[in-house]
Amino acid sequence: MPETPRREHLLKVGVSGVRGVVGEFLTPSIAAAFAQAFGTYVGGGRVVVGRDTRASGEMLTHAVSCGLLAAGCDVVQVGVLPTPSIQVYVAATRARGGLAITASHNPPEYNALKLFNAQGLFFNNYERAELVDLYHQRTFRDARNDEIGGVTVERRDAARPHLERVLARVDAARIRARRFRVALDAVNGAGSLVTPHFLREDLGCDVEAIAVDPTQPFPRVAEPRPEVLGDLSDLVRRTRADIGFAQDPDGDRLAVADETGRVLDSDDVLALAVDVTLPHLPGDVVVNLTTSDVIDDVARRHGRQVHRTPVGEAHVVDGMLAVEAAIGGEGSNGGIILPAVHLCRDSYTGMALLLDRMAETGQTLSALAATLPGYTRRSGVVPFEHGRLGAAMQALDAAFPDARTDRTDGLKLRLPAGWIHVRASNTEPLLRISTEARDAATARMLFDRVGQLLG
């Protein structure tokens, strides 16, 4: 009798919400049920709903709105909008909460519900556990006919509260005076309309843009990794741009190319943002376990400490709240979080900070990046079968008996020559492997050794 193929389950409830492949796993009925659980948890009132440009976004907007109405909420639909703009809008309008329908950096067949509380922040562990328990128990509020609210479509510029907060943190006049030429790849995502306007009208840049049609599919891999940004690099060189920016579909992650078209490592982008911020704001720095040690070096220049959390924006935000951090983020995935704007991952803050530093110093981006300590990082993913992760981690730990270990999130091994971090993805059935060292040969050796141990 032939063996039944293993069926990969692609619906996941994680640190930021519920996520899965649309159709067989993430369905309108599941989305409506989660939304009804969310509406029950926040106790009615106004709830903001926005989305990115995925084909399933409009369908799931209807499903989510249905679930919220069933729980007695009033729905404010802001349409296609970057996730950080949705989060700021929730807080600025004093809504009871918000949902962003986006799978962020995941492939287009995925979608997700990102859940925000009244402060426009991801639910903390306690809130998330209560909400998930409510969903599984199906103890939803069912509004009576006379309690059912309505749907309002917000047609004004819902991104303005967010962008005004970003502009307040930089010298916008100084940036406008430089008339930077900026290349942009918005991946046809939620930033397709907001980002060109922000760069042109608010910051006075001459913008050369590709992939800014929100009606079209993503033209590249959604996650803005250096190896998929060849078109942006070409655009920078062809137009002689001063800098290039690439976003993911919901506009929270940022990748940056210098004036030569070289895409900077995302850890270095975060390090530059940290270096810009710390002279002006009190507080330490919070990053995840996979973020480079370059952050520690930059923080030491300013007499600050670095605190590390598990991977995931919600974890980093919790850590930032605990220590009242000046800045934080996840260098490994292009996430910059500046509490003075909002406690969320925000590509717009990153763009503004870098342009402001270039305007202030008169230096090119490549010159600014050259001031950072040099590290080499390698990363990759491998699929894994549930039930085998524990044994793999034990074998890895045993292979490096002299390492200093951290089991906060998967397994991080710190060695004299560098470090290794292996963990299960928060969003996909994958094992993520990262290594770092001062030189490329050592980083590769560590990465290859982990690959051998994991088979």
Residue 378: pLDDT over 80: yes
d(CA 299, CA 293): 10
Average pLDDT of the residues in 358-375: 97
Architecture of the 161-369 domain: 3-Layer(aba) Sandwich (3.40)
In the chain, which residues fall in CATH 3.40.120.10? 11-157, 161-369
State yes or no: pLDDT of 92 exceeds 70: yes
CA-nearest of 148, 147, 130 to 139 is 130
- pLDDT tens for each residue of 400-425: 999 999 999 999 999 999 999 999 87
Is the pTM above the cut of 0.85?
Answer: yes
Lowest-pLDDT range of 1-5, 82-86, 241-245, 344-348: 1-5
Domain 376-453 grouped into CATH 3.40.50.720: no
pLDDT value, residue 394: 87
Chain centroid to Cα 289, Å, comes to 15
Q: Which of 16, 65, 104, 347 is catalytic?
A: 104
pLDDT, tens digit (0-9, with 9 covering 90-100), for 189-214: 999 999 999 999 999 999 999 999 99
**Whether pLDDT at 338 is above 50:** yes
Sequence-ordered list of residues with C-beta below 8 angstroms from that of 279, at least 6 positions apart, any chain: 302
- Report the C-alpha dihedral over residues 446, 270, 52, 162, rounded to 10 degrees: 160
Task: Note if 16 is an active site residue.
Answer: no
**Helix residue ranges per DSSP H, 19-124:** 28-42, 57-70, 83-92
pLDDT at 126: 85
Residues of the chain with CATH 3.30.310.50: 376-453
Residue 43's CB is within 10 A of a number of other CB atoms, namely 12
Instruction: With a cut of 80, say whether residue 62 has pLDDT above it.
Output: yes
In three-state secondary structure terms, 23 is coil
Q: Please give the pLDDT value at position 5.
A: 35
**Res. 318: pLDDT tops 60:** yes
pLDDT of residue 14 exceeding 80, the answer is no
CATH architecture of 11-157: 3-Layer(aba) Sandwich (3.40)
Q: What is the amino acid identity at position 257?
A: A
Greatest pairwise CA separation for the chain in angstroms: 74
* pLDDT tens column, 222-239: 999 999 999 999 999 999
The Cα–Cα gap between 197 and 82 comes to 13
Could you tell me the two tokens for 153? 């479509």
Contact in structure between 80 and 51 (CB atoms under 8 Å): yes
The answer to whether 134 and 40 have CB atoms below 8 angstroms apart is yes
